[in-house]
Amino acid sequence: MLSLESPEPLLRDESVPVHPEHDPRHPLVIFGDHRFCAGESLTVHKMAGPHMHSQIELNFVLSGAMTYWFDGRELTVDEGRLCLFWGMIPHQVIDRREGTQFICLYVPMSVFLGLANLNRFRDAVFRGAMIEALHIRPYDRDIFERWREELLAGDPDLMEIVRNELTARVLRVEREGWRDLREEGSAIANFSANESERVEHIERMLRFIAEHALEEISAEDVGRDVGLHPNYAMAIFKRAVGHTINQAIVRHRLDTAQSLLISTDLSITDVAFESGFGSASRFYEAFADRFREKPTAFRRRMRSKGTPAAA
């Protein structure tokens, strides 16, 4: 739900966190930054097409309401609500009440993977949940506004303080109650917070998949990139994320295909190859297995809902 216009770039200084710049006419993510940062704009804008990015995204709606397309669903978040999701799930703001404002924060995967005892919560996020906190405090608005200001300031000491405070807030969301706006959930094996080296490996593997899934890659390639034996890499990946490396590769390709079906007029065959599938038949099989409908039917249904191709 990156409901920003293509953000104006911050200073290109390495000490300042800069979110990747996205062309709203293009459905694919630009992987330029994986750091902890905040969106500059408070105003929510409709977007021309869906996109993806690598961080966990947190949104706190300050005023109004916004409706977005999220992994094939239309979901609405109202004023005073807090939600979070993995940015690698295709998302697009398709409507908003005039003047709607929000605070948008981006958290690296390593922070999220390193949180202990978030088994079901973390699993739901990586399986494509839109998490909404059930309990909002009166001071949450002020805190999120302060976090945004301090992240945009680029002070490393303040950034570390915000990281710690925001981590605590996520832990409270898990403890006090949350719901998946898609009304789904599942379970995942525990991944200890003090296994920092493994957490780093998982983040690097997820990033490698996100950046190379449209190429001809295998689980062996993913493990090799982080310097791990393929069997070990596959074991710790499945333990942390809840599905295999090969399943993650296919999922990313299908997420890309969804975006292309919605935001372009490419033929189904072209969508298959642009999404990294070696053949149209494999694409059709994988798409129908996950979404329970054919790509043509999915495109027709989304277009009938008023989700046009990008200009």
CATH 2.60.120.280-classified regions of the chain: 37-180
Q: Quick one: pLDDT at residue 34?
A: 65
Quick check: 34 and 88 in contact, CB under 8 A?
no
CB-CB contact of 189 with 119 (8 Å)? yes
**Predicted local distance difference test score (pLDDT) of residue 184:** 41
Q: What global pTM score does this model have? A: 0.63
Domain with CATH 1.10.10.60 in the chain: 195-311
37-180 maps to CATH 3.20.20.60: no
Please report the pLDDT score of residue 286 as a whole number. 94
Query: Can you give the pLDDT at residue 58?
Result: 96
279: its two tokens? 């053949």
pLDDT of amino acid 117: 66
pLDDT reported for residue 5: 32
What's the pLDDT score for residue 196? Answer: 60
Grouped pLDDT means (10 residues each) for the chain, 311 residues: 32 32 41 71 88 86 92 87 89 92 89 71 81 93 97 93 93 89 49 60 84 91 92 86 87 86 88 92 93 90 63 42
Q: From residue 255, how far is each of 77, 205, 226, 261, 262 by CA, in Å?
A: 22, 18, 24, 10, 11
User: Which pLDDT belongs to residue 251?
Assistant: 87
- Please report the pLDDT score of residue 65 as a whole number: 96
Of the CATH numbers 3.30.70.250, 1.20.140.10, 3.40.640.10, 1.10.10.60, which one belongs to the domain with range 195-311? Answer: 1.10.10.60
